[in-house]
Structures are given as C-alpha cells and as structure tokens.
Amino acid sequence: MPRTDTLAFDAIVLGGGAAGLFCAGVAGQLGLKVLVIDHAAKVAEKVRIAGGGRCNFTNRDLDPRAPHKHFLGENPQFCRSALSRYTPQDFIDLVTRHGIPFHEKHKGQLFGDRSSEDFIRMLLAECEAGGVQRWQPCAVKAVRHAGAEGYAVDTDRGTVRAPQLVVATGGLAIPQIGASDLGYRIARQFDLRVVEPRPALVPLTFDGQAWAPWADLAGLALPVRIETGSKKDRLTFGAFDEDLLFTHRGLSGPGVLQISSYWKPGSALRLNLSPGQDLSEALPRAKAGSRKLIANELAAYLPSRLAEAWVCQDTAWQRPVNEASDKALALLAQRISAWELTPTGTEGYKKAEVTAGGVDTRALSQQTMESRQPGLYFIGEVVDITGWLGGYNFQWAWASGWACAQGMAARRGSLGG
C-alpha cells in the first residue's frame, strides 16, 4: 500500500461517490494532482444501487434559473450558480461521449439502458484521464489544518498533505453501504454551521393501532395528490401528483418519498385519493341511477381493496348507494378527496435515499463551493441542498463537483501553483 508524508498533491478529495469522483476527474483534467480517499470497500456503491440499478443520472426538467422548484434547503437559491454553469445537457453530452445508452422514463428522469456500472466505469475513466490517484478502502483518522501546507489528512495508509481539501463524504442515508457523518464533523471542526441532518426521500410510518385499518392494503399503489405544510412557508410546503404505495407500516411510493423531504414531525399530510375525479358529484349521480353497494360504485374511482377499506370506516357507507343519505355520501367524498393523516415518523436513514440538511450554504461560495476556511470545499449531499426524486440529486453532485474543480484550478493559479 502506498504511504506518504510529503506534500504530494494539489487537492485531496474525501469521498469516492458521485460528487467526489466527478470533481476529482474534472480537477485532474484541469492539471491538478488529485488524490481520492474513501473508506468503503466498493467504489461508488450509492451510484450502483441508484434507480433500481439503472442510475437515474439527471433530469431534463431541471430549471437552473429557479432551483427552488426542485431543491430544498435553507437557501435553495445557493445552487443556482453551479447548476447554471454545469447543466443536465452538459452531463448528457459526457454520457453520450462514453457511449452509454439511456432513456427518459417520465417527468424528465433519465436512466441508463443497461446498468449503473456504465456510469461508475465512466467516472473512473474520467479520473484516469486526469491522472487521479485513489486510495480505497482507506479510513480517515483525522483532518488537520497544517498552516502554509494547507491540510494534513491522517489515514490508515499514512499522512498525506495538500493545499486544498474537498469534502464529498455524502450524508447519513443508507448506512449499510457505508454512510458516515465525517463531513459534518469536519465542518464543525472548522466552526462551520451544520443544518441538522434528517432522512429525506424516505417512507413515512404511522402508529400501529392507528394504521391497523390500512395495513392489509400493503402493496397497493395508486396515483394521488399529496400535500403537506402551509403555502405561506416555502420550507415546509410541498405538493406532488405522484403514485402512492401502502406498506405494512405506513406509506411509500414516489409521492410519499417526495413529500417526506418537506414533512415536519407533527405535521399532517393531505391526500386526494382520486385526483381528477369529483366524487362529490359522482356519488350523488350514482345514487340517482344505481342500486350497487357504495363500495362497488367507489371501485370505479379507487382500487377495489381501498374502496372496501374506506366503506368499512362507517356503517352509513356499508349499504347500496341508493339507500345512503346525501350527508353520508358527501362526507365520504370529502374524506377521500381530502384525507388528512399525521405520520408518527419515518423509516429512517436505513430506507432514506438522501439526507436533508448539512453544511450551511452561508458558509460556502456558490461559485466555487469553497468554505470560509480557505482551501476547504464541500460538495454534493453533505451540503444543505436536497433535490427532488428523479435525478436532481445526481445533477447537484455533478454541478457542485464541477464548480469546485474550476474553483480549485483558479485558486491554484492565483497562488502560483
């Protein structure tokens, strides 16, 4: 194993995931001598499992002029500079140059046709083109500021030094593949504020007894309109038209994963289980011309199992529609189109796709990702920028990594490196 105790590199990148590898490759091709250090045994494991193993690598619908549409954080406008300078089309061009076939699934989401391995090989090839060295697996024991020499990183392969240090260590999501809080610890070590991390893009759970009427619907999916928070508060208001999935413990599916990034403990969800249908008109219309059970009439608008679960909530709904009172039908229509329920929690980091929160953007340059601590950069998921489901977080990884690499090259030039 290589060991060094000399100033051998222009930049050290901590973390060999999407952001770290991409930043290293770009920086290397800009002429910097770069070392990537990662403690995990497998390279870019989060890229490998993304998109069901196909890697949803970016999203064509991203609007860099309005990042608040698809990104969260205390200041989502922070990511505007990086996203506008390295766009989804820029990354698509790179993917095309590497001959990786891809397709659009829906809503701008781009996936590889074959396997995430294509994208890992691409990132490694870009690093190789830039002469990037990689120590993996290699544990980081400590990070120190070493005065004029920049930063010293103590590892189980020895100590290495560089004037510029990039923290691309990701968040706390999916600990089973090596997630770590190292990036947050480094930020706090240098007196940089960290917005409290929390699981995001994560299934929501409910109290066992309260969820009992719905637990048997596990596996059932349907399109819904889902909301949380107040429209007056952009940090907590979210609304999506997506699919919902019932689970034994609560709710999942794209709509719930999306809303989970906005949901705050104690807040309610508002669900329209039959968007595009006006049940307040449909049920009275059925009453006038049908003798079917209410459950059977509802099954024209909802999955039959869900319709049955709803009518079981009230004896007034367990009868033929023509025998039901107008009041009972109106209440049923209202409940289904504006179902309000409050989760008790989430499935946690183990099931979360990303971590919300992270290094406060007010401590970073939006042009270069450099922190107030000169020569120290933070990119990707470790920063308080979280994208929607569907390739947005990968595009943030590429864009923040690219901006950082450009910044490091410019800084080295200004220092006469």
pLDDT tens column, 129-164:
999 999 999 999 999 998 888 999 999 999 999 999
Q: CA torsion 317→318→322→324, rounded to 10°? A: -40
- Structural domain span for residue 274: 203-347
**32 shares its domain with 109:** yes
How far apart CA 60 and CA 267 sit, in angstroms, is: 32
The tens-digit pLDDT sequence of the chain (417 residues) is: 444 445 589 999 999 999 999 999 999 999 999 999 999 999 999 999 999 999 999 999 999 999 999 999 999 999 999 999 999 999 999 999 999 999 999 899 999 999 999 999 999 999 999 999 999 999 999 999 988 889 999 999 999 999 999 999 999 999 999 899 999 999 999 999 999 999 999 999 999 888 999 999 999 999 999 999 988 777 678 999 999 999 999 999 999 999 999 999 999 999 999 998 999 999 999 999 889 999 999 999 999 999 999 999 999 999 999 999 999 999 999 999 999 999 999 999 999 999 999 999 999 999 999 999 999 999 999 999 999 999 999 999 999 999 999 999 998 876 655
- Based on the fold, state whether residues 140 and 106 are members of the same structural domain: yes
Tell me whether residue 6 is in a domain.
no
Evaluate whether residue 234 is within a structural domain.
yes
Residues 6+ apart with CB under 8 A from 232: none
Q: Model-level pTM?
A: 0.94
Cα dihedral across residues 78, 79, 84, 85: positive or negative: positive
CATH number at residue 70: 3.50.50.60
Distance CA 184, CA 14 (A): 12
338, 361: one domain: no
Q: Does residue 4 fall inside a structural domain?
A: no
Which of 296, 318, 347 is the endpoint of a domain? 347
Q: Give the angle subtended at the CA of 38 by the CAs of 37 and 43, to the nearest 5°.
A: 120
Count of domains observed in the chain: 2
CB atoms within 10 A of CB 188: 13
- 221: three-class secondary structure by DSSP: strand
Q: Are residues 87 and 155 in the same domain?
A: yes
Assess if residue 30 is contained within a domain.
yes
Specify the pLDDT at position 1. Answer: 46
User: How wide is the angle at C-alpha 167 spanned by C-alphas 263 and 388, nearest 5°?
Assistant: 30
The reply to whether 182 and 273 lie within a common domain is no
Backbone angles phi, psi at 96, to 5 degrees: -65, -40
Domain closes at, from 312, 347, 382? 347
Same domain, 210 and 221: yes
Same domain, 401 and 324: no
Peptide bond connecting 64 to the previous residue in cis, omega within 30 degrees of 0 = no
Strands 339-341 and 269-272, how do they pair? antiparallel
Same domain, 122 and 103: yes
List the alpha helices (DSSP H) in 136-291: 182-189, 208-215, 254-260, 279-289
Cβ(175)–Cβ(39) below 8 Å? no
Instruction: Report yes or no on 5 lying in a domain.
Output: no
Whether 130 is covered by a domain: the verdict is yes
Residue 79 lies in a domain: yes
- Asked which of 347, 381, 396 is the last residue of a domain, the reply is 347
Identify whether residues 104 and 181 lie together within a single domain. Answer: yes
Token representation of residue 355: 């971590």
In a domain, 98, yes or no: yes
- Whether residues 266 and 359 fall in one domain: no
Together in a domain, 301 and 341: yes
DSSP assignment of 66-123, as one string? -GGGTEESS-GGGGHHHHHHS-HHHHHHHHHHTT--EEE-STTEEEESS-THHHHHHH
Same domain, yes or no, for 402 and 313? no
Task: Check which CATH number belongs to the domain holding 212 and give it.
Answer: 2.40.30.10
